[in-house]
Amino acid sequence: MKLVIITINYNGSENTIKLLESLKNQIDKDFEVIVVDNNSNDIDKLMNYKTSETNIIYIKNYHNLGFSGGNNVGIKKAIENGSEWMLLLNNDTWVDTDFISHLKADLEGKEGIVGIAINEGERTVYAGKIDWLKPTLIHITMFDVVSPQIINKNYNNDVRHRYYAIGGAMVIHKSVFDKIGFLDENYFLYFEDADFCLQAKKMGIPISFLPEIKICHSVSSSTKKLGSPMLLRYHYRNALYFNLKNGPVYLRFILWLWRLEIMMKQFIKIILGKNKEESWAILNGVFDYYKRNYGKIH
């Protein structure tokens, strides 16, 4: 089994090195690592990190391509190198020494997309859950609700249970990309993992979860550098795009009502002088959606 771990670095070299150190100490060393740098300011610190114990490929992008674009660069390189399984792993994570050996054992006989449990300190999350007409997606902390019997239901009949593998700890077989392509770069960040899993389910690709294998995660350290208003702008723009692209047919007829509700609430807050910066960020996210201003927001 040829396994490649792909991680994105964006001004987070210290976190990325911590992850690489945990990978260097694996009992099973038969895997590769691809580090994709999204035009960071601290790239020199990362490039100076060398180890003979881990096979690391560094790729430097000359623009910040976000989560989806950065991972697509790494995925294409991994496929070019003949990889069978690709693990997308947040750079602000780290793993125990037996992580690779357990992962390989559990991937035997599997196909499609596999989600890995994420230990966030106070809680462990096993999957994401989609709720339509919401600016954020829910993370599930109880594994019994994402059993294979639920996950592998027919897509058209799966109304109440819309679970997906979280992008920060998602393993994907190479055959998936042949069937549905790569991550949608219109998102830049947020919602692309849910979108990818929904596209897979439409094609009958199985999605399963590994509750026993866990990675440790420093929550949101990779994205909070952008600042809260900018994150709100991405959330609302991407939520609208996600619902339009993936929602049931009836959503396309009522999506405009949700847009109107969002805008009215934010205009009222601005008039009342409450959280103006956040309200303008949300409105700009809606305007971005109207203008089809996708990808990275400048």
Is 160 in the same domain as 270? Answer: no
Q: Does residue 90 form part of some domain?
A: yes
From first to last of the 298 residues of the chain, give the pLDDT tens digit: 999 999 999 999 999 999 999 999 999 999 999 999 999 998 888 888 877 667 899 999 999 999 999 999 999 999 999 999 999 999 999 999 999 999 999 999 899 999 999 999 889 999 999 999 999 999 998 876 665 544 444 434 443 358 999 999 999 999 999 999 999 999 999 999 999 999 999 999 999 999 888 899 986 554 555 568 999 999 999 999 999 999 999 998 899 999 999 999 999 999 999 899 999 999 999 999 999 999 999 8
Contacts of 112 (CB under 8 A, 6+ apart): 172, 173, 176, 200, 205, 206, 207, 208
Q: Which residues share a beta bridge with 60?
A: 37
| DSSP 8-state symbol, 41 | S
Is 264 in the same domain as 199? Answer: no
The span from the CA of 244 to the CA of 290, in Å, is 12
Buried b (16+ CB within 10 A) or exposed e, 106-132: bbeeeebbbbbbbebeeebbbbbbbeb
pLDDT of 226 = 54
Is 166 in the same domain as 280? Answer: no
Q: Does residue 297 form part of some domain?
A: no
Q: Which of 103, 102, 105, 75 is nearest to 88 (CA)?
A: 75
Is 172 in the same domain as 246? Answer: no
Domain limits for position 54: 3-220
Burial, 196: exposed, middle or buried (Cβ in 10 Å; 0-12, 13-18, 19+)? Answer: buried
Is 93 in the same domain as 73? Answer: yes
Buried b (16+ CB within 10 A) or exposed e, 154-173: eeeeeeeebbbbbbbbbbbb
Is 173 in the same domain as 260? Answer: no
Give the domain-ending residue among 199, 220, 241: 220
- pTM comes to 0.91
Give the domain-ending residue among 190, 220, 250: 220
Tokens of 6: 């792909």
Q: Does residue 282 form part of some domain?
A: yes
The span from the CA of 275 to the CA of 260, in Å, is 19
Q: Does residue 296 form part of some domain?
A: no
Specify the amino acid at residue 208.
Answer: S
Q: Does residue 295 form part of some domain?
A: no
Q: Does residue 34 form part of some domain?
A: yes
Q: Which residue in the block uniquely carries the two structure tokens 């740098």?
A: 37
**Residue 154, domain CATH:** 3.90.550.60
Q: Does residue 117 form part of some domain?
A: yes
Give how many domains the chain has, as a whole number: 2
Q: Does residue 272 form part of some domain?
A: yes
- State whether the Cα torsion 146-151-156-157 is positive or negative: negative
Mean pLDDT, rounded, of the chain:
90
Is 58 in the same domain as 142? Answer: yes
Is 163 in the same domain as 71? Answer: yes
Is 236 in the same domain as 271? Answer: yes
**Torsion region of 101: left, alpha or beta (phi above 0 gives left; psi -120 to 50 gives alpha):** alpha
Is 12 in the same domain as 115? Answer: yes
Is 231 in the same domain as 210? Answer: no
Give the domain-ending residue among 166, 197, 220: 220
Tokens of 50: 């060398």
Is 11 in the same domain as 95? Answer: yes
The span from the CA of 153 to the CA of 158, in Å, is 6
Q: Which of 66, 67, 81 is nearest to 33 (CA)?
A: 81
Which tens digit of pLDDT belongs to each residue from 6-15?
A: 999 999 999 9
